[in-house]
Chains A and B, each alone.
Chain A
Amino acid sequence: MRYLVSVIDDKTNPGSTDRQPAISAFNDRLIAEGYWVFAGGLADTDTATVIDNRGEQAVFSDGPFVESKEYLAGVWVWEVPDLDMALKLATEASKVCDRKIEVRPFQ
């Protein structure tokens, strides 16, 4: 079962910035245990561009599709047997990243 694991940061109360070594070690473990599918940290939301080509002409807009205090800072994709395992790893991930984590199954 695949889950999208989102790391959520808070603009007014951001998590600590020294987490990279711990995150790398956690990733190594995910890989060794066979749960790791993909991982990536995201650049700031200000760097986003939204494209809407539903009408006659494609419209590009600068900035994220929704401005919010909380935003997506990074993602993982994990392959694990069930939600219990996903939640167990996400509980550790939240400590490791010092940020909130959302776990959402793929269809």
Chain B
Amino acid sequence: MSAVEEAITSAHRAEWARVVAALTRRFGDLDIAEEAAAEAFASAVERWPADGVPPNPGGWLTTTANRRAIDRIRRESKRDDKQKEAQLMYDDDPPEPLGAVDDERLRLIFTCCHPALAMETRVALTLRMVGGLTVAEIARAFLVQESAMGQRITRAKTKIKAARIPYRVPAAEDLPARVSGVLAVLYLVFNEGYLATGPDTDPVRHDLTTEAIRLTRLIRALLPADGEVAGLLALMLLTEARRAARVSASGELVPLGEQDRGAWDATLVAEGHRLVRERLAAVAAGGAAPGPYQILAAINAVHTSARDVRDTDWSQVVALYDQLVRLDPSPIVALNRAIAVAELDGPEVALAAVDRLAEPLAGYHAYHVTRADLLRRLGSSEQSRAAYDKAIELAGNTAETAYLARRRDQLG
């Protein structure tokens, strides 16, 4: 990649959200902001190779995008009075009172993750407006037609405008609930990357996990005191650290217990552990009790602290799951707790706990994977085979299906 191409890529990464956010604030219209930002980056691609990279790329992009936005508004409002046009020349918005955090990008994120939008819409809008992914890239990531994804994003922009979804950081009393909505969007993007679904996709979508981490880092920079933001970032880092060890050379999923721990990314593990320690210290110093992301991060910290799977402190893992069950008594958490219980109290105790989840989790592939493994360990081959069959039928990830099929075929 040439130096100019690199400058454009890094400007895109660093400045896209800032440019969209600044324009949305100024023109009160996400659509105009998005289009003008895209045009500004397109003209950087055209002009920087010849003119050189400007000394302040962000400033250049914002100014260019502003001009494009004004051009478009002029074209669309030729019949409007001159006075309105003159207003466009000056950014004379009265300064708003400073909220808890004053960053344009944060307003953008909260608007894209507004609870009045459907979850899949929030994900798409966040990746487009904050992440700067193209509609084609987002469509590919979620295996839908580009036109359908385009429509979803257009519909969302129309609703934001027509229903007047505000462009601001929520008030302090609403902030925790709204932040948790934003984190849910980022975690969903991460998980889709980490366990990608679909017969024709890569088993791990590195682009999505990387983007989710980048956006979570951004939120962390904007809300450094929020424990759950730190928890989610730590959780993502400790999960991402295991990526290289998670799929074998032959394309099979490698479960945690069988992974080559030397292949884990030590830098990501260290950063994740640092964040978990920071949260433990904050809680110990009388801070708010940890939420689910912090507990999940702590569980992952226990796993990544063991050099060998046999060194895993399972009693600590089960204790953390007990804590998580109190916050989130969902059957999926209970299933994951049972997996840890199998290591501490044996597969029989765990199977009894898993079987109690039959009704709510009948359609969830991980339920059948867990049963198959426990039944295999208990020597019930026939039942185990049936559970593997069901798991394979429900699993959407190619590497996982390959692993499960081999396990099934190895049954005696």
A contact set with B: CB distance below 8 Å: 1, 81-84, 87, 103-105, 107
CB distance from B50 to the nearest CB of A (A): 45
Check A107–B162 contact: CB distance below 8 A: yes
Residues of B within 8 A of A84 (CB): 165-166, 170, 174
B116 touches A1 (CB 8 A): no
B179 to chain A, nearest CB (A): 15
A23 to B170 Cα, complex, angstroms: 28
Interface size range of chain B in the complex: 10 to 19
Set A81, A83, A107: member contacting B116, Cβ < 8 A: A83
Report how far A105 CA is from B170 CA in the complex, Å.
20
Is B166 in contact with A105, judged by CB distance below 8 angstroms? no
From residue B171, how far is it (CB to closest CB) to chain A in Å?
Answer: 9
A76 to chain B, nearest CB (A): 16
Complex Cα gap A107–B163 (Å): 9
B78: interface (CB < 8 Å): no
What is the total of A-B residue contacts with beta carbons within 8 Å? Answer: 24
- Chain A residues with Cβ below 8 Å from B310 are none
- Taking CB atoms, residues of chain A closer than 8 Å to B162 are 105, 107
Pairs across A and B, CB under 8 Å, 24 listed = A1-B164, A81-B164, A81-B166, A82-B164, A82-B165, A82-B166, A83-B114, A83-B116, A83-B163, A83-B164, A83-B165, A83-B166, A84-B165, A84-B166, A84-B170, A84-B174, A87-B115, A87-B116, A103-B163, A104-B163, A105-B162, A105-B163, A105-B164, A107-B162
Shortest Cβ gap from B162 to chain A (Å)? 6
Write out the residue numbers on chain A whose beta carbons fall within 8 Å of the beta carbon of B170. Answer: 84
Using A82-B164, A82-B165, A104-B163 as known contacts, list a sample of 11 further A-B pairs with CB atoms less than 8 Å apart, ordered by residue number in A: A1-B164, A81-B166, A82-B166, A83-B114, A83-B116, A84-B170, A87-B116, A103-B163, A105-B162, A105-B163, A107-B162
